[in-house]
C-alpha cells in the first residue's frame, strides 16, 4: 500500500501532462483551419477540437485507448459482417469478436500474435544456446579465456544493426516468415543470458565448493545441486533483459519485409500519417513487453520462493 499511492499519483500527473501537451501540439492545425474558413475560434472550442482530431500531431490519451479498442476488436478490425452480427455487443458477441481478431490481419491482436510467436521462438533458442555456452565457459578454461571477452564486448555494440541484413539475406535464399525474425530475437537475448549465467554458475564461493568436495560429490552433482540452483537469481535477471531485447529485435526485424507484426503497424502508420495507429501499435508493444517481463518476474518469484531464496 505504501507504494501504490505515490505510483498512482505519478501516473495521474503524467497523464495530466499528456493532456496539457495535446493542446499546444494540435492547436496550430485548428487555428489554420479556422483562418482558412474565415471564422473565429474561441479558446474552449479549440481545446475541445484538439482532443478529437482525425490525425493529431499528438493524440489525447483517450483517443489512444479508443484507437487500441477499435484496432483490436472494433468494427474495422474484425470485419463488417462480424461487426453487424455482434452489434448490440453482448459478452458472447465480444468473445466472437476476439476470436475473429486472432485471424483478421486488420487487428492488432493478430499482429501482436505474429510478433509474439517470433519473439518467443527466438527467446527460447537464444536462452537455450546462452545457457549451454555459459556451461561451456564455466567448465572449459580455453572457452572462458577466448569466448567470454567477446560475449562481454558484444553487449556494448549495436548488434541490432545486423537485423535488416539478416532478414533480407535469409529472404533471398528462400527463408522467410517466422524464422529470420526469431534469429534476430535469439541473438539479442543470447548474450545477456550468457553473461548473466556465467556469473551465476560462478557464484558459489570457495567454502561451498569445499563443502561439496567433503561430501565427495561428482562434477555432475556439484553442477545440479550447487551451481545450477545458485545461478537462478542471475538467470532470471538476464531472462528479463533478454525477453525485452528479443521483442525489440523482432519489431525491428519486421521493418524491412512487411509480413505482419507490430513493427509493420508502426512503419505503415508512419507512412500514411496515421498517428493514432502508431500510438495504438506502440501501446500494444508496450503491453506485450510488460506482460512478458511480468510473466518472467512471476515465474522468478515462484521459483525463488520454492527454492527458499525469497528476496
Partner 1 sequence: MSGLMQGRGAWIRLGLAVAVLAACWWPRAAGAQPGDLTLVALTAALALSILAPGLGQAGRAVALLAMGLALSLAGGPLAFQQGGAEAGGFWAAAIAVWLGAWLLVALVAELPWRRGPWGLIAPLIFGATILWAWESVVRALDVPRVILPAPSEIAARLASSTDTLWIDLVQTFGRGALAGFAIGCGSAFLFALVVDRYPFLKRGLLPVGNFLAALPIIGTAPIFVMWFGFDWPSKAAVVVAMVFFPMLVNTVQGLAATEAMQRDLMRTYSASWGQTLLRLRLPAAMPFIFNGLKICATLALIGAIVAEFFGSPTYGMGFRISTEVGRLSLDMVWAEIAVAAALGSAFYGVWALLERQVTFWHPSQRGR
Binding site for partner 1 (CB under 8 A): 2-3, 5-11, 14, 57, 141-142, 144-150, 153, 155-162, 164-165, 168-169, 172-173, 240, 244, 247-248, 251-252, 255-256, 262, 266-267, 269-270, 273, 275, 278-279, 281-282, 285-286, 289-290, 293
Alpha-carbon dihedral sign for residues 301, 304, 305, 310? negative
Query: In 10 A of CB 154, how many CB atoms?
Result: 15
**Residue 81, all three cell numbers:** 459482417
Of the pair 82, 123, the CB lying nearest partner 1 is at 123
> Using the 8-state DSSP alphabet, how is residue 222 labeled?
I
CA dist 249 and 239 (Å) reads 15
Are 192 and 249 spatial neighbours (Cβ–Cβ below 8 Å)?
no
Rounded to whole angstroms, the Cα distance separating 57 from 25 reads 6
Question: Quick one: 66 or 255, whose CB is closer to partner 1?
Answer: 255
Q: Which is nearer to partner 1, 92 or 172 (CB)?
A: 172
Smallest gap from Cβ 97 to partner 1, in A, equals 26
Please identify, using beta-carbon distances, which residue of 72 and 86 lies nearer to partner 1.
72
Q: Which is nearer to partner 1, 109 or 281 (CB)?
A: 281
d(C-alpha 126, C-alpha 131), whole Å: 9
Residue closer to partner 1, measured from CB, 156 or 216: 156
Nearer to partner 1, 100 or 122 (CB): 122
Do the Cβ atoms of 71 and 77 come closer than 8 Å?
yes
What is the rounded distance in angstroms from the CA atom of residue 276 to the CA atom of residue 294? 26
* List of long-range contacts for 279-282, beta carbons under 8 Å, 24+ apart: 279/59, 279/63, 279/64, 279/67, 280/64, 280/67, 280/68, 280/71, 280/108, 281/108, 281/111
CA distances from 192 to 80, 152, 153, 246 (A): 46, 9, 11, 11
Contacts of 92 (CB under 8 A, 6+ apart): none
Give the shortest CB-92-to-partner 1 separation in angstroms. Answer: 34
* CA neighbours closer than 13 Å in the CB half-sphere of residue 53: 23
DSSP state of 195: H
Measured from the CB atom, the residue of 78 and 133 that comes closer to partner 1 is 133
Amino acid at each position: 500500500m505504501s507504494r501504490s499511492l505515490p505510483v498512482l499519483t505519478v501516473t495521474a500527473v503524467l497523464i495530466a501532462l499528456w493532456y496539457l501537451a495535446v493542446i499546444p501540439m494540435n492547436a496550430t492545425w485548428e487555428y489554420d483551419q479556422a483562418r482558412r474558413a474565415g471564422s473565429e475560434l474561441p479558446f474552449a472550442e479549440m481545446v475541445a477540437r484538439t482532443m478529437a482530431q482525425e490525425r493529431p500531431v499528438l493524440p489525447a490519451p483517450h483517443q489512444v485507448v479508443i484507437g487500441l479498442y477499435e484496432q483490436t476488436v472494433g468494427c474495422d478490425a474484425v470485419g463488417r459482417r462480424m461487426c453487424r452480427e455482434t452489434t448490440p455487443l453482448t459478452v458472447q458477441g465480444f468473445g466472437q469478436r476476439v476470436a475473429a481478431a486472432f485471424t483478421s490481419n486488420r487487428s492488432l491482436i493478430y499482429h501482436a500474435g505474429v510478433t509474439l510467436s517470433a519473439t518467443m521462438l527466438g527467446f527460447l533458442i537464444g536462452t537455450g544456446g546462452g545457457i549451454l555456452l555459459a556451461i561451456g565457459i564455466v567448465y572449459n578454461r580455453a572457452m572462458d579465456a577466448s569466448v567470454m571477452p567477446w560475449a562481454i564486448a558484444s553487449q556494448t555494440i549495436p548488434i541490432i544493426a545486423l537485423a535488416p541484413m539478416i532478414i533480407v539475406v535469409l529472404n533471398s535464399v528462400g527463408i522467410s516468415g517466422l524464422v529470420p525474425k526469431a534469429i534476430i530475437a535469439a541473438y539479442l537475448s543470447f548474450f545477456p543470458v550468457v553473461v548473466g549465467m556465467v556469473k551465476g554458475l560462478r557464484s558459489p564461493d570457495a567454502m561451498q565448493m569445499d563443502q561439496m568436495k567433503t561430501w565427495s560429490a561428482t562434477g555432475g552433482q556439484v553442477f545440479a545441486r550447487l551451481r545450477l540452483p545458485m545461478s537462478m537469481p542471475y538467470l532470471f535477471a538476464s531472462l528479463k533483459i533478454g525477453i525485452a531485447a528479443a521483442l525489440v529485435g523482432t519489431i525491428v526485424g519486421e521493418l524491412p519485409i512487411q509480413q505482419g507484426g507490430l513493427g509493420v503497424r508502426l512503419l505503415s502508420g508512419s507512412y500514411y500519417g496515421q498517428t493514432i495507429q502508431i500510438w495504438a501499435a506502440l501501446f500494444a508493444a508496450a503491453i506485450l513487453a510488460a506482460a512478458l517481463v511480468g510473466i518472467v518476474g512471476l515465474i522468478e518469484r515462484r521459483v525463488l520462493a520454492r527454492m527458499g531464496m525469497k528476496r
